[in-house]
Amino acid sequence: MALVLWVVYSCICGVVEGILYHSHTRTDKRVDEHGYYTIQRVIVGLGMFWHEPALLIYAGFVFPFFHDGMYYETRRYLNSSIYRGGFFTDLPMGSSAIFSFGIITRVMFFVVGCSWAMIYVFSK
């Protein structure tokens, strides 16, 4: 159940951040929230997977696929002139994120994360 909840959480984070970044005005005094987001994700991940810490590897690998995809799709929905590829946008535009991945890397991470989870779950 925690595996599915993590996917839902990842998607919700992407949508919320897409809306927030769409509404930001570009100023020199803008605060970069990525540190806050990272802390929040670590806390939520630890809370979801405290009983199976090995599944944190799954969480780390599948998060970018769903989060970034939903972020790009939300931004494209709100402004059709950016992230024209939507969920499958290849490279982010001017991102200040700690990690930014193109679609090929996101898909590879997704496959690795799901493989890890399947091996872990079925080996028990």
| % of the chain surpassing 90 pLDDT | 54
Letter for the amino acid at 41? R
User: Looking at the predicted structure, is the pLDDT value of residue 119 above 70?
Assistant: yes
Structure tokens at 84: 């024209």
Q: Read off the pLDDT of residues 26-60 as tens digits, 9 standing for 90 and up.
A: 555 566 787 889 899 999 999 999 998 889 999 99
Structure tokens at 40: 């929040």
Query: What's the pLDDT at 30?
Result: 64
User: Looking at the predicted structure, is the pLDDT value of residue 2 above 70?
Assistant: yes
Say if CB 111 and CB 61 are below 8 A apart: no
Residue numbers of the domain that contains 106: 2-22+33-122
- Look at residue 28 and tell me if it is in a domain: no
User: Looking at the predicted structure, is the pLDDT value of residue 106 above 90?
Assistant: yes
Residue 106 contacts by C-beta under 8 Å, 6 or more apart in sequence? Answer: 64, 65, 68, 69
Rounded to the nearest 5 degrees, what angle is found at the Cα of 119, between the Cα atoms of 118 and 123?
Answer: 115
- Look at residue 65 and tell me if it is in a domain: yes
Domain total of the chain? 1
Q: Please state, in angstroms and rounded to a whole number, the distance separating the CA atoms of residues 101 and 119.
A: 25
- Look at residue 27 and tell me if it is in a domain: no
Predicted confidence band of residue 25 (pLDDT cuts 50, 70, 90): low
Question: Mean per-residue pLDDT for 20-28?
Answer: 70
Structure tokens at 100: 């930014």
3-state helix, strand, coil in the chain (%, to 5): 70, 0, 30
